[in-house]
Structure 1
């Protein structure tokens, strides 16, 4: 049976300890500049199950993972989740500090998430597959 965060009714996500620490620092760093995104990221961190890096399944989206996901319109997209300094939309490298990046972190194939774009529109995505980061792939 899936784990849920009782306070929000959302499915629990899985994060590596190192991703949790990095994302917490990033959420703190952007709090003054982008309070809304910072709060959304803190909400995701709050509902996360934190586990040792080496125990995170390869099917969980983490920093460096490449995910194939389907949007609410049925469009399939592929993106690699990266830290802000490594983001490059032309290469499908999306920052963990974008609304879709926050939505993807910690999800596994079959899981869905709703998110709000910067223009205020609501979207949904469903993860189809995940390729582990090169530094952890077996």
Structure 2
């Protein structure tokens, strides 16, 4: 479950790539990620705000209860490695992060059914803000 109380923003390139990824997975219409990309505001990579989580962004997040901060990178499934902080966009956490702005809270349900949340504290790296409009 993602927090849909606010609009998400994604780039048109991320939109296309994620839609194709979902099609290859056979889940183009019935996943939280499909719902998110269908409802998102779509912008060009050149105009996406630097405080928005895009694909391959490295972010700093923290537990709302005051837990320690940690860095995560939102990635595609082949690069996912949770132990190293590479979180697949197809995971509940990855979907919850996509399109968030700094200061917003990612919310999702874990495998155990419990709601979990992380506050997006900072974007440490965003490809588009670095002038990379193709990754």
* Structure 2: runs of 5+ lacking an equivalent: none
| 1:83–1:105 Cα change, 3 Å | same
Q: What is the SS of the residue equivalent to 1:77?
A: strand
* Structure 1: runs of 5+ lacking an equivalent: 1-7
**1:24 counterpart = 2:16:** no
For residue 86 of structure 1, what is the aligned residue in structure 2?
79
Contact 1:58–1:137, Cα closer than 8 Å, also in 2:
no
Q: TM-score, normalised by structure 2?
A: 0.82
Q: What is the SS of the residue equivalent to 2:50?
A: coil
Q: Which has the higher contact order (CA 8 A, sep 6+)?
A: 2
1:74: how far off? 2.8
C-alpha RMSD of matched pairs (Å): 2.2
- For residues 69 and 61 of structure 1, the distance between their equivalents in structure 2, rounded to whole angstroms, comes to 12
1:73: how far off? 3.7
| Aligned positions, number | 127
1:96 to 74, 89, 92: 89
Q: How does 1:1-138 map to 2 (within 5 A)?
A: 10-31=5-26, 39-75=31-67, 76-134=69-127, 136-137=129-130
For residue 4 of structure 1, what is the aligned residue in structure 2?
none
| 1:9–1:122 Cα change, 3 Å | closer
